[in-house]
Amino acid sequence: MRSIDGAGNYSGVTKYLFNVRPSPEPDAPGDVTGDEVPDVYTINPDGNLTLYAKTLGSDRLHFSMPAAYTTTDGSKPVEDGYWTGALITHNGDWLPGDGIQDLVARMSDGNLYVYPGDGYGGFDVGTRRKVLMPANAPAPASLSQILSVGDATGDGRPDLLATSGTGLWAFTGYTGVSFSTATQLSGDDWTQRDLVQVGDLRGGAALDLVFRTDTTGRLFLRAGKVSGNGTDLSSFATQTASEGGIDTLYGSSRLALGRDAHRHRQPRRLRRRGRRRVALKSDGNAVIYPGSRTAALSSTTMFNIINSGVGTSWTGYTAVG
């Protein structure tokens, strides 16, 4: 905010931070601020969870807010390092069915948790709930990537994809902070692949999977098959199991998704608004690749949301989710 006097002189700019009342409507996928534009969570070098509220358009992310607090002894931010080593993903209402976007996190203690959203983009860590896994599921400590994919199967409940070792796993049948089914989508070796996004990328009834391969740095689209009211997640197991039986090139060679960032095994996600994909680069910059149902991603259309050249950088950030 700034003021102007009668002579036309402007004052300096003063920033005011405040929360607005949450919308009575359910949050859009990935949106925690109520403007229907997906927002971005990161873990910074101090091990803190931060929220970057994205506005519509190609403007950069100028400001972040602490996104985690505790009310155990009054309301205060969590200590530095709480989120160090965590994997994070947000897309869906996981708890308690209030229409607010929640956070799923594999924490450094090796457990998987749901952090209920407070409607203002933050999370009271004291309200987290440990997710119970089926007996055949891999240990949460072994998970190297997690990706919340919304209700992919059509049962009205959120689903989760994850990698463990060389395998890709689907966790479905969610209720009461537990999954009833863990399915290894066997066939491919996922050691050198990044999960990027599951979404409707072809305009069909089924969702599709986008992944990045380390060996070439390219993105591929694997088309899903319809099953009942949703998607048959087993169609993501191999390209021969997919709709059409072949993976489609979705991004040109060596798209700047950041090999250094990949070492943290955190997926670069497609932001649902306009099929945009956020990429953390190894130089600390972050960019968005606008997507399309009719064209592959291209570096010619990307734009910066974090730019070290103008004083902002995500160097040392370990997760984007």
Provide mean pLDDT across the span 70-77.
89
> Of 55, 253, 93, 302, which Cα lies nearest the Cα of 177?
93
For residue 264, what pLDDT is reported? 34
Confidence (pTM): 0.86
Strand-pair partners of 251: 219, 297
Cα separation, 207 vs 87, whole angstroms: 23
Q: Is 135 exposed, middle or buried (0-12, 13-18, 19+ CB in 10 A)?
A: exposed
Query: What are the C-alpha distances in Å from 76 to residues 19, 122, 172?
Result: 16, 12, 35
User: Residue 48 burial by CB count (10 A; 0-12/13-18/19+): exposed, middle or buried?
Assistant: buried
Across 189-201, average pLDDT: 91
Question: If pLDDT is split at 50, 70 and 90, which confidence band does 15 have?
Answer: low
The residue ranking higher by pLDDT, 279 or 91, is 91
For 15, residues 6+ apart whose C-beta sits below 8 A from its C-beta are 1, 63
Candidates 203, 244, 204; CA nearest to 222 is 244
Structure token pair of residue 14: 């003063």
Residue 285 has a pLDDT of 86
* Residue 109 CB partners (closer than 8 Å, separation 6+): none
pLDDT higher than 50, residue 261: no
pLDDT digits 0-9 by tens, 158-182: 999 999 999 999 999 999 999 999 9
What pLDDT sits at residue 37? Answer: 84
**Cα-only R_g, the chain:** 20
| Mean of pLDDT over the chain | 85
On the question of pLDDT at 266 being above 60, the answer is no
Q: What is the pLDDT of residue 20?
A: 60
Tokens of 184: 């290894």
User: How far is 242 from 209, CA to CA, in rounded Å?
Assistant: 10
Give dist(CA 304, CA 270) in Å, integer: 15
Contact 180, 134 (CB under 8 A): yes
Classify the C-alpha dihedral 317-314-34-122 as positive or negative: positive
> Quick check: 137 and 215 in contact, CB under 8 A?
no
Q: Pick from 92, 121, 90, 94: which is nearest to 103 by CA? A: 90
Region class of 7: left (phi > 0), else alpha (psi between -120 and 50), else beta:
alpha
Output the pLDDT for position 294: 60
Query: Are the C-beta atoms of 289 and 255 separated by less than 8 Å?
Result: yes
pLDDT score at 216: 79
Mean pLDDT in residue range 73-100: 93
